[in-house]
Amino acid sequence: MDLSDLRLQIDDLDRQIVELLNRRAAIAVEIGKRKEAATSAVFAPDRERHVIENAIGNNEGPLPAQSIRSIYREIISSTRALEQPVVIAYWGPPTTNTHLASIYKFGSAATFVPQDTIPDVFEEVERQEADFGVVPIENSIEGIVNHTLDMFLRSDLKICAEIYLQISHCLLSSADNLEDVKKIYSNPVATGQCRRWLNSRMRGVEIVAVSTTARAAMIARDNPEAGAIANSLAAEEYSLNILANHIEDNPANKTRFLAIGRIQPKPSGRDKTSIVVSVPHRSGALLTALEVFARLELNLTMIESRPTKLLPWEYVFYIDVQGHQSDAQMAKAIEKLGECATFVKVLGSYPEAD
């Protein structure tokens, strides 16, 4: 077959794909009506994991699994929007990594609403101005985001999902060449994560700290001698050139984000439960609480202490455990914690992110 014959085959397959997508969407709309009648949430992380893993399991290539995952994320997002528009509040201005994580989880068909602070995200969801919120919780290099942890003591919202995002930085500018960049703007955290590249390629160029990487991109858009350290979405949003890609010092740099809302996802088969506890102020009290998980063979993936801010030197402990709170072993662990801790609060059970 020549090139024109192959293209005709592509055109025919595209017609079939569109037809099948619309048939799928029609069924999704019917499911949405039944969910509404049963007052079920339109976002079901456990079901979405099942759909995507089924699609990957049926994939025989040549498309890689990650491509199937991305395609189905957008299919699910588009059909979910037909069932009911979904509003997502996220921390920071557009094109920040939290914005990227929000798109990665909910797909581009959702409506995304930027918020100035992490408490603003919680408040937007609590006031039901947004269906879900997305906030950062920890970075593989910088550690825990304390503002997010502290909010869970004040809020009754649940953790509905988690997202891991690979953090990749670019040098953006309206200039065409690195040599034309006289100042570089970025958030100090992003700058610190690119220190080796900056010392090697941009030695002597002034580094100026700004509040966010998005703000840096705005400055670079308006000043042809300015560069910005930001992500590729910022380059697209602000019509900037990518003068250098993947300039981060550590390619393994990832940030974990949490989606918060008012729903409790069902077990997906591979879940995580987040719990906050406080223990009596006596020797061995924390060990006694942690032994509950060890005896029941439940694996902890995170433990972090934070001051209660109520009394000096009083702390609470945030714990992530593999398993769903409805699992027999996890339910038993939560019951046993209540016997040895002074305070126990389950923040949510949700599918573990890939």
Query: Exactly one of 257, 273, 293, 317 is catalytic; which is it?
Result: 257
Query: Exactly one of 255, 273, 293, 317 is catalytic; which is it?
Result: 255
Contact indicator for 133, 89 with CB cutoff of 8 Å: yes
How many other CB atoms are there within 10 angstroms of residue 220's CB atom? 30
Burial of 20 (0-12, 13-18, 19+ CB in 10 A): exposed
Contact indicator for 234, 214 with CB cutoff of 8 Å: yes
Active site annotation includes 255: yes
Give the E-state strand segments of the chain in sequence order.
87-91, 111-115, 132-139, 143-144, 158-166, 170-173, 183-186, 206-209, 226-230, 241-244, 254-261, 271-278, 300-307, 315-322, 343-351
Q: How far is CA 204 from CA 67, 184, 231, in A?
A: 41, 11, 23
β pairing state of 87-91 and 111-115: parallel
Active site annotation includes 257: yes
| Centroid of chain to Cα 178 | 32
Virtual torsion, Cα 5, 6, 7, 11, nearest 10 deg: 100
Contact indicator for 259, 159 with CB cutoff of 8 Å: yes
Catalytic residues: 255, 257
